[in-house]
Amino acid sequence: MSLIAVAGGAALPVGSAWAGSGDQSASIPETEPPATPVQLGKAEAFSKDNLLMMVRQIADKDYVAPAKIPQPWVDMSYDQYRGIQFNPDSGLWKDTDLPFNMEFFAPGLYFPTAISISVVDGDTSRPVLFSKDVFRYAHLVPDLPVDDTLGYAGFRVRTTINDPVRKDEFVVFQGASYFRAVGKGQIYGLSARGLAIDTGEAKGEEFPDFRAFWIEGVAPGAKNFTVHALLDSPSVSGLYTFNITAGPTTEMDVEAVLFPRVTLNHVGIGAETSMFLFDETNRHRFDDFRPAVHDSDGLLIENGAGETLWRQLANPLTLQVSSFVDDNPKGFGLMQRPREFADYADLEAHYHKRPGLWVTPGEGWGRGSVSLVEIPADREIYDNIVAYWRPRDPMEPGSEHRFTYRLTWCEDPPITQKLPRVLNTRMGKRFAGGRLVTIDFSDADILPEKLEELSLHVSSNRGKVSPGIVQRNPRTGGVRLAFTFYPKDLTSIELRAQLMKNGKMASEVWLYRWTA
């Protein structure tokens, strides 16, 4: 699997830096034409039941790839494409008393097909008509032809998430089935996906597309809005409904109804894509002024058995796939735990402000596994981490599968157990061929004054591991667990550690896959 495919089939090979970057990093166009408001087309009948019927009929037919836009749009350079920006004064619902504004992305370059976008009002919908006049253009942008294949590449939504007057961008849908969101005070980091197919498989990954969107109109004072999306690919069609609420944490209640065209043995529900380059465990591999570079540093799982697992992320030298078998999980997500500027010392990327993304399953997810895919990366522009729920049973053609779940874009996930959590993991060379591991756990009421009351569970699937020791960490107020493992000639080792008190959990379960 290529890194570009993971970041990309999707959005861009510069995954982390692009989708929804509008206000944050795009160049400023050099010409400022008068604003031309977005126009809507003729009204058509609309109902969600009819959408579901349409998607079912699409799945019953052979897959038809979307039409390509004119080649000059695709042939633009990166700088030329970035020189096309939507004029905020042209936005949908701009200068109204509605709580949301909507803006659109130009097609071209990495987005060679257009998507359909419609606005719903009761039992009718009206298409958003494409126009070159809603964009501002830098002088380096060439003259581009217009024909019926053109349309927008995606959209973003603004609301008063950070300021009672100013409306800031907080959610964007752009590229394949990728989308992003932030809560108050956050900036874009990891992405979510509608569906992952064959991630990490030798035959290559399939990237379904959101081909059409229907955005329901909102009333003055509304706190949320609803988006319906048609997903399509050679293997499956589906209808997604997102009910999106902005706030200190932005939440999306998702319903996905899938209709496979072929047998799907490897699908990912609630899929997330992120970036992990280095932290204290592998910093020696990178000549960089920063102490850490990542959008997420761990996979957190609250499994059906009541355990809270923290799987520290790694940037391996070869593709690594981990599976955490479960039955009706309570939740999982890629998290960003270090929250101080000094943890990254990056004045531009602001990694300390990037959100985590927590998936809370609805009913009936049943048996399967949380899958984690870690792909080697040498630059932070690549999204090299993927996590998702993989149902145990295949999905057969002609069947219908419904999943509901909530996505929470947050700093701290809404987990039920409040155990001491892993704050940091460090590793370094030890005498006699060993490697020292230190794990800092946060403070909590469950931790005793006398640390000898704790029992330590440290283990590995192979190789020798020393008994652990614990000490107070005056910097965090919590405790540090340290142990040494001896890899010798082994190429990989699965490590596990946890604090216990009176036979009960006194911390998260720390997990790590060490590779030579």
Give the model's pLDDT for residue 367: 97
- Quick: pLDDT tens for 240-267: 999 999 999 999 999 999 999 999 999 9
CA angle 197, 200, 204 (to 5 degrees): 70
At the fourth CATH level, which superfamily is domain 422-515? Immunoglobulins (2.60.40.10)
Q: What is the DSSP string of 458-494?
A: EEESSSEEPPPEEEE-TTTSSEEEEEEEE-TT-SEEE
Using left for φ > 0, alpha for ψ between -120 and 50, and beta otherwise, residue 5 falls in alpha
| Average pLDDT score over residue span 436-445 | 95
pLDDT of res. 181? 98
C-alpha neighbours within 13 Å on the C-beta side of residue 116: 17
- Residue range 144-187, pLDDT digits in tens: 999 999 999 999 999 999 999 999 999 999 999 999 999 999 99
Lowest-confidence segment of 32-36, 99-103, 279-283, 380-384 by average pLDDT: 32-36
- Report the pLDDT value the prediction gives residue 18, as an integer from 0 to 100: 38
For residues 27 and 308, the model is more confident at: 308
Q: Please tell me the pTM assigned to this model.
A: 0.92
Q: What CATH number does the domain located at 3-410 have?
A: 2.70.98.10
- The pLDDT, as a whole number, for residue 416 is 84
Percent of the chain with pLDDT over 70: 94
Q: What is the pLDDT of residues 36-75, one digit of tens each?
A: 899 999 999 999 999 999 999 999 999 999 999 999 999 9
Instruction: Give residue limits of the domains in the chain.
Output: 3-410, 422-515
What residues form DSSP beta bridges with 326? 368
Q: Which pairing describes strands 209-216 and 224-232: parallel, antiparallel, or unpaired?
A: antiparallel
pLDDT at 35: 84
Local structure of 282: helix, strand or coil? coil
**Least confident among 28-37, 290-299, 401-410, 447-456:** 28-37
pLDDT range class, residue 29, cuts 50, 70, 90: low
Average the pLDDT over 338-352 and give the result: 97
Q: Can you give the pLDDT at residue 33?
A: 64
Task: Determine the number of helices (DSSP H) and then strands (DSSP E) in the chain.
Answer: 6, 35
Residue 119: pLDDT band (50, 70, 90) is very high
| pLDDT averaged over every residue in the chain | 92
User: Average pLDDT for residues 2-24, to the nearest whole number?
Assistant: 37
Of the pLDDT bands very low, low, confident and very high (cuts 50, 70, 90), residue 418 is confident
pLDDT, tens digit (0-9, with 9 covering 90-100), for 174-228? 999 999 999 999 999 999 999 999 999 999 999 999 999 999 999 999 999 999 9
Cα 222 to Cα 97, 120, 173, 206: the distances in Å are 11, 15, 21, 37
Q: Report the share of the chain in percent with pLDDT over 90.
A: 90
Is the pLDDT score of 295 beyond 90? Answer: yes
Categorize the per-residue pLDDT at 116 as very low, low, confident or very high, splitting at 50, 70 and 90. Answer: very high
Whole-angstrom distance, CA of residue 195 vs CA of residue 116:
19
